[in-house]
Amino acid sequence: MQLPAPRGPLTDRLFAELTRPPHDFDPPSTVPYGAGEDVQLALFACYELHYQGFDEVDDRWEWNPSVLALRERLEGGFWRWLTRRVPRPAAPPPREVPRALAALVAADDGPSLSAFLRSGADAELFREFVIHRSVYQLKEADPHTWGIPRLLGRPKAALVEIQSDEYGGGRPERMHSELFRATMRGLGLDDAYGAYLGSVPGVTLAISNVMSLFGLHRRHRAALLGHLAAFEMTSSIPNRRYSQGLRRLGGDSGTRRYYDEHVQADAVHEQIAAHDMCGAFAAEHPALAGDILFGAACALTLDRLFAEHLLGRWREGRTSLWRADAEVATP
C-alpha cells in the first residue's frame, strides 16, 4: 500500500517523516480535536504501521517513540470526541449485558443504508459503497483479534471461535477478506489492499480507527468486545439486503458470496458475542460492563454518521468519496 496524498499539515508532516529512514522528530504539541480529514488520516497511518504498513515506509517506524507520541495525541483528541459525541449507556448488572446490548441495537434509529442499496442504488453508487468498506473489509477481523491475548477462559474462547470463522476456518480462499476481494473484482474494482485509502473521507476512516483504538489498548478491551458484539448483531439483515441489491444489479453468486456468507455466519456470531463473550466477560469484570455498552454505542454511532454521509451526498447528486476540491463535513 502506498501513502495517500496528505490532507492537511498533520499528514503532510507525518508522511514527509515516514518516507525518510527512522529518526526522532518533534510531533506537534497540539493536534486538532475531532474527527476531521487530516486527523483521521494521520491516525489511520499511525495505526497501519501495526498492520500491513506502507511500501515506502521502513517497518522500524512501527515502534518509533516520535510516531507513538504523535499517535497518543491523536488518540486523545479522538477519544474526547467519542466521549462527547457518543452517549454513554448506563452500566447494566453483568447478567443483563446481553439483554442491554440487544436493547441498544434495537433502539438505534439511524438511516437504513442497506435498504437504499437493496432497492434504490445504481451500480455506480453500490461501487462507491464497496470502495468505502474496502478500507476495513480487506483486513476484516484483524483489529478485533488484538483482543485475544487480553482475555482468558470463556470470553477468549468465544472470541477465537468468531475470529476463526472470519479467517475462513484455516482455508485462505474462505477468509472473509478474500470473499470481499471477489466482490470488488465482480464490480470491476481494484482489490489490492488499501487501494482506495486515498479515496475515502474521514468518517470512513474513523470506523476503522475506533477498532484499532480499542484493540491496541488493553484498557479498552471491554469496549472492543462491545464493538464486535454490535458489529455482529447488526450484520445479518443488512448483508441480506446488500446481496439482494447486487442481485438486482446483475451481480453473480461469486460477487454476492461475501454478503451471503455473513447472513448465516453473523446470525450465529451475534449469540456467541452477546452471551459467551460479552456476558461472560462482564461476569468476570463487573466494573467493565459499562465499557462494553460504550464500545457498542461507538460502533452504532459511527455507522449512523457513515450512513448519513453517504445518503446525504447521494441525495445531493454528489459523490460520497473524498476529493481534495470538495468539502467534507466533519461529523
Range 78-100 average pLDDT: 96
In whole angstroms, give the CA distance from residue 309 to residue 135: 16
Residue 110's pLDDT is 84
In whole angstroms, give the CA distance from residue 86 to residue 28: 27
In the chain, CATH 1.20.910.10 covers 92-315
In whole angstroms, give the CA distance from residue 146 to residue 324: 33
The yes-or-no verdict on residue 329 having pLDDT over 90 is no
pLDDT band at 326 (very low <50, low <70, confident <90, very high): low
pLDDT band at 304 (very low <50, low <70, confident <90, very high): very high
The yes-or-no verdict on residue 81 having pLDDT over 60 is yes
Q: Over the chain, what is the mean pLDDT?
A: 95
The yes-or-no verdict on residue 40 having pLDDT over 90 is yes
pLDDT band at 63 (very low <50, low <70, confident <90, very high): very high
Exposure of 46 by Cβ count < 10 A (0-12 exposed, 13-18 middle, 19+ buried)? Answer: buried
Residue 325's pLDDT is 56
pLDDT tens digit sequence for 236-250: 999 999 999 999 999
In whole angstroms, give the CA distance from residue 109 to residue 27: 40
Contact yes or no for 185/130 (Cβ under 8 A): no
Specify the long-range contacts of residues 49-54, CB closer than 8 Å, at least 24 apart.
Answer: 50/212, 50/216, 51/139, 51/142, 52/1, 52/139, 52/193, 52/194, 53/1, 54/1, 54/2, 54/3, 54/18
Residue 324's pLDDT is 60
Alpha carbon distances (Å) from 241 to 198, 230, 269: 28, 18, 18
Range 299-320 average pLDDT: 97
pLDDT tens digit sequence for 108-163: 988 899 999 999 999 999 999 999 999 999 999 999 999 999 999 999 999 999 99
Residue 328's pLDDT is 46
| Bigger pLDDT: 261 vs 330 | 261
Neighbours of 130 (CB within 10 A): 22
pLDDT tens digit sequence for 4-35: 999 999 999 999 999 999 999 999 888 888 78
Residue 310's pLDDT is 97
Residue 29's pLDDT is 82
Return the CA Rg of the chain: 19
Superfamily per CATH, domain 92-315: Heme oxygenase-like (1.20.910.10)
Specify the long-range contacts of residues 127-130, CB closer than 8 Å, at least 24 apart.
Answer: 127/187, 127/188, 127/189, 128/310, 128/319, 128/320, 128/321, 129/310, 130/183, 130/184, 130/187, 130/189
Alpha carbon distances (Å) from 168 to 151, 158, 185: 22, 16, 19
Contact yes or no for 40/9 (Cβ under 8 A): no
Q: State the cell numbers at 142.
A: 484483524
Range 69-98 average pLDDT: 96
Global pTM reads 0.95
Range 190-212 average pLDDT: 97
Exposure of 115 by Cβ count < 10 A (0-12 exposed, 13-18 middle, 19+ buried)? Answer: middle
Residue 75's pLDDT is 97
The yes-or-no verdict on residue 327 having pLDDT over 60 is no
Q: Which residue blocks in the chain are alpha helix, DSSP H?
A: 9-18, 37-48, 65-85, 97-107, 113-119, 123-137, 142-145, 153-166, 176-186, 202-215, 221-233, 236-248, 253-271, 280-284, 289-315
Residue 5's closest CA among 208, 207, 197? 197
In whole angstroms, give the CA distance from residue 289 to residue 95: 9
Q: State the cell numbers at 69.
A: 507520541
